[in-house]
Amino acid sequence: MNDPNDHKYRKYHPYQDLYNVPAQNLYKLPTSPEFLFHEESLHQRRSWSESLQYYTGTGYLAGAILGGAKGSVEGIRAAEPGETLKLRVNRVLNSGGHMGRRFGNNLGVLGLMFAGIESGLIHWRDTDDLVNTVLAGLSTGAIYRAAKGPRSAAIAGAIGGIAAAAAVAGKQAVKRYVPI
């Protein structure tokens, strides 16, 4: 719709006083991280406390989501004929909450153990490489299942080591092949 009085109004242009500045340079932002202090730029790895919080929190959150989903599905399947909608919803919520807490706590403990062992290995070996991560995964699995017997601990340790190596390999592949 063209307004006959449209010629009286001027369009708003926020850069009207900047005509001497090339427009393509206005929005060029740095791609590298910016640090307040030079010492922060030298630090390439999480500290042991940051690692502890990250792995524990991530483990708990992932376990809570996966357990909640699994529990909700079990709650839906356990519905009996003739139940009211209110009872079915209650069953699903209770089952999802119970399973979510259980899985979340288990994976949070695994994350806590892994972070502590990995940080200890980094300090003890005075290097940060794939070996620390694999040994931490192996040790975490073995310690976590040690109460079930040596065979169970060995299997869990092997699974933990393989999972840690796969996580590192996946992270390297994402860094290399996925542009961010």
pLDDT digit string, tens, across residues 8-31: 555 555 665 666 655 544 555 566
Cα separation, 11 vs 111, in Å, equals 57
Mean per-residue pLDDT, 137-147 = 95
> pLDDT at residue 109 above 70?
yes
Helices and strands counted in the chain (H then E) = 5, 0
Angle CA 118–123–129, to nearest 5: 60
pLDDT digit string, tens, across residues 51-94: 899 999 999 999 999 999 999 999 999 988 888 999 999 999 99
Angle CA 168–171–175, to nearest 5: 140
Name the strand (E) or helix (H) holding 170: helix 150-177
Closest-CA residue to 56 (of 116, 109, 100): 109
Q: Show me where the domains of the chain are located.
A: 46-126, 129-171
